[in-house]
């Protein structure tokens, strides 16, 4: 076969041309194989990254599931530890045993407007050293109605609650009912002071 080289004709033996074609074919095949290997490697890397990401997600989900199970177990332990059997009437002497001082993980009773609540879920409010601890283990009706965090003076304690104070008490009772279990009534508390009054949130609770 002859190729035009610009200076005349040159004859290239057929075998040489065939060898060159074979080399070209081999090079093309090698290139294709290299590209294929590169694609496989790249695909493997991407696949590995996705697998590790998926594994990481699975591990996080598993860790979260284990955490939730443990947290649920702890909540149940706290509930059982703080449980107290409801009964029809509680005396103020009995209430004092459950102010959270002797047993910081046990029941925490608060009386308001003749009802007795187990407020252990609000231990961060009513427990020892907390803002509302003065309400724990006692009849807190007047303190709640008047918005007092200190003991009421003897003179003030002689005065009946006015309408605004009874409305504030109604708001407290509504809040306590929505959060805590009623475990009975306070012995000798008399009729409700807030039942017939529209609840009004006092200024110090806003």
**pLDDT tens column, 22-35:** 555 555 555 554 55
Structural domain for 129, as ranges: 89-205
List Cβ neighbours of 76 (8 Å cut-off, separation of 6 or more). Answer: none
Could you tell me if 131 and 192 lie in one domain?
yes
The answer to whether the beta carbons of residues 111 and 135 sit under 8 Å apart is no
DSSP H helices in the chain: 14-82, 92-96, 123-126, 141-146, 154-157, 163-179
Residue 3: band (very low, low, confident or very high) from pLDDT cuts 50, 70, 90: very low
List Cβ neighbours of 183 (8 Å cut-off, separation of 6 or more). Answer: 84, 85, 86, 87, 90, 109, 116, 117, 118
Cα 138 to Cα 148: distance, rounded to the nearest angstrom: 14
Domain harbouring 161, CATH code? 3.10.120.10
Cα 39 to Cα 12: distance, rounded to the nearest angstrom: 39
**pLDDT tens column, 152-192:** 999 999 999 999 999 999 999 999 999 999 999 999 999 99
What is the reported pLDDT for 33?
Answer: 46
Domain presence at residue 118? yes
Locus of tokens 């009386």: 111
Mean pLDDT of 185-205: 82
Domain end marker among 81, 104, 135: 81
Could you tell me if 106 and 168 lie in one domain?
yes
- What pTM was estimated for this model as a whole? 0.67
Q: Nearest Cα to 120, choosing from 73, 177, 82? A: 82
Percent of the chain with pLDDT over 70: 71
Q: Nearest Cα to 125, choosing from 206, 164, 203, 179? A: 179
Q: How far is CA 178 from the centre of its chain?
A: 19
């Amino acid at each position: 076969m002859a190729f035009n080289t610009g200076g005349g004709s040159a004859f290239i033996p057929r075998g040489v041309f065939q060898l060159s074609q074979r080399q070209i074919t081999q090079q093309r095949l090698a290139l294709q194989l290299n590209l294929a290997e590169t694609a496989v490697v790249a695909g493997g890397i991407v696949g590995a990254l996705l697998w590790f990401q998926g594994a990481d997600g699975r591990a996080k989900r598993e860790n979260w599931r284990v955490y939730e199970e443990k947290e649920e177990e702890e909540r149940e332990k706290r509930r059982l530890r703080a449980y107290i059997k409801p009964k029809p009437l509680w005396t103020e002497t009995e209430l004092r045993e459950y102010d959270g001082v002797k047993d910081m993980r046990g029941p925490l009773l608060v009386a308001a407007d003749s009802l007795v609540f187990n407020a252990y879920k609000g231990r961060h409010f009513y427990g020892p050293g907390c803002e509302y601890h003065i309400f724990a283990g006692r009849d807190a009706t007047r303190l709640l109605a008047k918005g007092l965090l200190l003991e009421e003076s003897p003179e003030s304690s002689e005065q009946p609650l006015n309408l605004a104070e009874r409305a504030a008490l109604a708001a407290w009772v509504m809040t306590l009912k929505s959060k805590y279990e009623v475990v009975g009534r306070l012995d000798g508390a008399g009729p409700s002071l807030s039942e017939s009054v529209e609840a009004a949130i006092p200024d110090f609770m806003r």
